[in-house]
Amino acid sequence: MKIKGKCALVTGGGSGLGQATAEELHRAGASIVICDLASSKGEAVAAALGERAVFVPADVTNSDQVAAAIKAGVEKFGGVHIVANCAGVGWAGRIISKTGPHDLGIFEKVIAINLTGTFNVMRLAAAQMSGQEPDGEERGVIVNTASLAAYDGQIGQAAYAASKAGVVGMTLPVARDLSARLIRTVTIAPGTFDTPMLAALPDEVRAALAEQVPHPKRLGKPEEFAILVRHIVENPMLNGETIRLDGALRMPPK
């Protein structure tokens, strides 16, 4: 899909991978709807991008709020043609710890945001895309964010790994579902990236994580994730696939 002149909805666009993706697609000529929590920096990111960007506060698990973000894209920019699902949360906790069994509410929250929230955005955006005129051979492109934890979940990552494995697992069936409507679906499974989620870790922990990556021996840069999102959007043969973006990293048990 040609990006110039299209509208991209980016969830989690107020920081990290989402912000980098919004900036990259904007540079490529897309108008941007940044969808993030009201407490995020989404409004500042949209303001920095300029007139081809708007911030709509939304929780991805809230259907009405997501629908409002999609509506903003239609009213301001003529439709929604690209979705980059970057919203997500991390959590670490063993299934049994010194305090007892894993908190079920936390598990449910991680699943709700990372998996159900991703699906919620996909279903509502796809409904909008399916009614739009196709650009050549496609109407829309959806790019989701999983994680290496979907494959190499570490100790304490049961909730996070389950949520991301769910995103990987639904990529192909959703791509098949939407193929008749000329909408592609692809997922990226990033390794350890230099995002706000890792920024809170001590420097020695961050250094140890970087050392585990075979090559390049460093944390990934959000703009490298964004470059892949752009390529997926522009390459019509990428569909129904999950792409690892990890520098050949395979996570150890802990």
Give the percent of the chain with pLDDT over 70: 100
Domain 7-243 has CATH 3.40.50.720: yes
Tell me how far apart the alpha carbons of residues 190 and 243 are, in angstroms, rounded to a whole number: 8
pLDDT(200) > 90: no
pLDDT (tens digit per residue) in 149-179 = 999 999 999 999 999 999 999 999 999 999 9
pLDDT value of residue 205: 83
pTM above 0.85? yes
Write out pLDDT tens, residues 116-144: 999 999 999 999 999 999 999 999 999 99
Ranking 6-20, 204-218, 226-240 by mean pLDDT, the lowest is: 204-218
Does position 14 have pLDDT exceeding 90, yes or no? yes
Non-local (6+) Cβ contacts of 114 within 8 A are: 88, 89, 160, 163, 164, 166, 167
In 178-214, which positions are buried (b, 16+ CB within 10 angstroms) versus exposed (e)? Answer: beebbbbbbbbbbbbbbbeebeeeeeeebeebbeebe
pLDDT at 147 over 90: yes
pLDDT band for position 63 (cuts 50, 70, 90): very high
Name the more confident of 151 and 197.
151
Q: Is 160 a catalytic residue?
A: yes
Q: What does the pLDDT average to over 1-26? A: 98
Q: What is the pLDDT of residue 206?
A: 84
> Which is the catalytic residue, given 55, 107, 160, 193?
160
What is the distance between the alpha carbons of residues 97 and 202, in angstroms, rounded to a whole number? Answer: 23
Please compute the mean of the pLDDT values over residues 82-92 and round it to a whole number: 95
- Residue 15: the pLDDT is 96
**pLDDT exceeds 90 at position 199:** no
The whole-number pLDDT of residue 204 equals: 86
